[in-house]
């Protein structure tokens, strides 16, 4: 589908100025700037390279229109992304910030993407066609590097029933976080013609919501998801949040990525006490394969952390996490997070009891006033180790400076 031709077909009939009022008045645009530095020191023996170290600047411009007046409202969204290399080399590439030549191994000086999305609104339902960034249990775009990943396809979101949000659609292409190309949708080294999904969330109350989704990556895998989120007020300034998630993933058709057989039960419990948050998680894998998720996306699991996903076959993992907001001490904008995640019983080629563990520390500050107001500064520190047959090990630091400029 040619998005420019689609947009032209939608917008050409909309020449009447009164009908365009909402289209213009409800529009907004912004530019997001992200300066990202990653230093990754590989600690295992016989590593292909001793370290990966890159520094780059990202720009993301987003324009979202309102909808035209009338029973059917029409609109257009646009997004342009540009990544620029500040420092890298062929022997330090591979952090995920920059693409590099598969033969030359030289990091690109820059890369970019333009995305256009047509949208149509009827009552409380919106259909979007073109570039998409879904945040759903079965497909979640990645935004952990310089530029965010995107998908191409169609997404229908409906909220016709109070408390119920329904989503359904089809994706056909993926643009990875460090790529300028739109590749066929896929998982691992296998590709497919399309990825179909549907489901929704029903909120019984502001404190309780349940979710169900079904998805199928044609000829690769099919997946069902059930989730429950509940918040229990305990006292003034105290609450307990429970987030339970279950996935059942099986092979589909020709099983182009090999046999898929995975059940993933995971959950997080968070106790909030004033400025403090104490969290504990569990994640249990059963079946003979790893947990599958789309290329260009992230797994919707509680033990998705800074470096690792803890989604190997058979891997059982847990996490202990602590968050603190320094606004309670009179320093608004300063936050701290630390967590430790431990996984055991991983299955891989010739391995039955592999172990993985990661420790993350995150310190962030958003400037509250002055000429640099709203500039965010973040330091992330990571230590990852594996054992019992698994050999990956690294120490990592990330420095991220961000700023969003609203144009209107």
Structure confidence by residue, pLDDT tens digits, 27-60: 999 999 999 999 999 998 777 888 999 999 999 9
What gap in Å lies between CA 348 and CA 312, rounded to an integer? Answer: 8
Structure confidence by residue, pLDDT tens digits, 371-389: 999 999 999 999 999 999 9
Structure confidence by residue, pLDDT tens digits, 187-196: 999 999 999 9
Q: What does pLDDT average to over the chain?
A: 94
307: left (phi > 0), else alpha (psi -120 to 50), else beta? Answer: alpha
Q: What is the mean pLDDT of residues 285-311?
A: 97
Q: What is the mean pLDDT of residues 304-325?
A: 98
Q: What is the mean pLDDT of residues 123-144?
A: 98
Residue 108 has pLDDT above 90, yes or no: yes
Model pTM above 0.75: yes
- Please enumerate in sequence order all residues whose Cβ is within 8 A of that of 222, keeping only pairs 6 or more positions apart, or say none: 214, 215, 216, 249, 250, 251, 252
CB atoms within 10 A of CB 169: 22
- Please enumerate in sequence order all residues whose Cβ is within 8 A of that of 236, keeping only pairs 6 or more positions apart, or say none: none
Which pLDDT belongs to residue 17? 54
Buried b / exposed e along 240-253 (16+ C-beta atoms within 10 A): ebebbbebbbbbbe
Structure confidence by residue, pLDDT tens digits, 258-295: 999 999 999 999 999 999 999 999 999 999 999 999 99
CA angle 52, 56, 57 (to 5 degrees): 160
DSSP assigned state of 297? B
Percent of the chain with pLDDT over 70: 95
Which pLDDT band holds residue 142 (cuts at 50, 70, 90)? very high
Q: Which two tokens stand for residue 147?
A: 């530029």
Which pLDDT belongs to residue 2? 55
Residue 306 has pLDDT above 90, yes or no: yes
Residue 14 has pLDDT above 50, yes or no: no
Which pLDDT band holds residue 7 (cuts at 50, 70, 90)? very low
Cα 4 to the center of its chain, rounded Å: 27
Which pLDDT belongs to residue 44? 81
């Amino acid at each position: 589908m040619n998005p420019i031709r689609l947009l032209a077909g939608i917008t050409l009939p909309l020449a009447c100025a009164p009908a365009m009022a909402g289209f213009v008045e409800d529009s907004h645009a912004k530019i997001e700037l992200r300066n990202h530095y990653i230093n990754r020191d590989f600690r295992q023996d016989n590593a292909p390279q001793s370290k990966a170290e890159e520094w780059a600047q990202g720009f993301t411009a987003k324009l979202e229109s309102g909808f035209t007046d009338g029973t059917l409202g029409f609109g257009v969204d646009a997004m342009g992304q540009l990544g620029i290399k500040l420092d890298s080399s062929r022997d330090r590439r591979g952090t995920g910030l920059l693409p590099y030549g598969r033969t030359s191994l030289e990091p690109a000086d820059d890369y970019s993407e333009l995305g256009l999305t047509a949208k149509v609104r009827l009552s409380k339902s919106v259909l979007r066609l073109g570039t998409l960034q879904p945040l759903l249990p079965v497909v979640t775009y990645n935004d952990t590097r310089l530029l965010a990943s995107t998908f191409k396809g169609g997404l229908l979101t409906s909220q016709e029933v109070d408390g119920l949000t329904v989503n359904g659609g089809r994706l056909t292409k993926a643009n990875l976080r460090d790529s300028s190309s739109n590749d066929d949708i896929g998982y691992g080294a296998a590709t497919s013609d399309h990825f179909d999904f549907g489901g929704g969330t029903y909120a019984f109350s502001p404190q309780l919501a349940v979710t169900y989704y079904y998805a199928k990556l044609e000829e690769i895998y099919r997946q069902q998801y059930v989730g429950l989120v509940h918040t229990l007020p305990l006292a003034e300034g105290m609450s307990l949040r429970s987030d339970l998630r279950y996935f059942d993933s099986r092979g589909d058709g020709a099983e182009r990525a090999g046999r898929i057989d995975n059940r993933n039960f995971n959950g997080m419990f968070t106790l909030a006490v004033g400025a403090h948050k104490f969290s504990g998680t569990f994640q249990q894998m059963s079946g003979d394969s790893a947990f599958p998720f789309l290329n260009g996306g992230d797994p919707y699991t509680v033990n998705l952390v800074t470096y690792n996903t803890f989604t190997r076959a058979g891997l059982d993992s847990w996490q202990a996490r602590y968050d603190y907001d320094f606004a309670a001490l009179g320093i608004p904008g300063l936050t701290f997070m630390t967590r430790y995640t431990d996984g055991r019983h991983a299955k891989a080629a010739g391995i039955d009891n592999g172990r993985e563990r990661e420790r993350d520390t995150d310190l962030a500050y958003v400037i509250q006033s002055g000429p640099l107001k709203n500039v965010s500064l973040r330091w992330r520190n990571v230590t990852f180790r594996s054992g019992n047959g698994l050999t990956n090990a690294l120490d990592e630091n990330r420095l991220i400076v961000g700023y969003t400029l609203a144009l209107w």
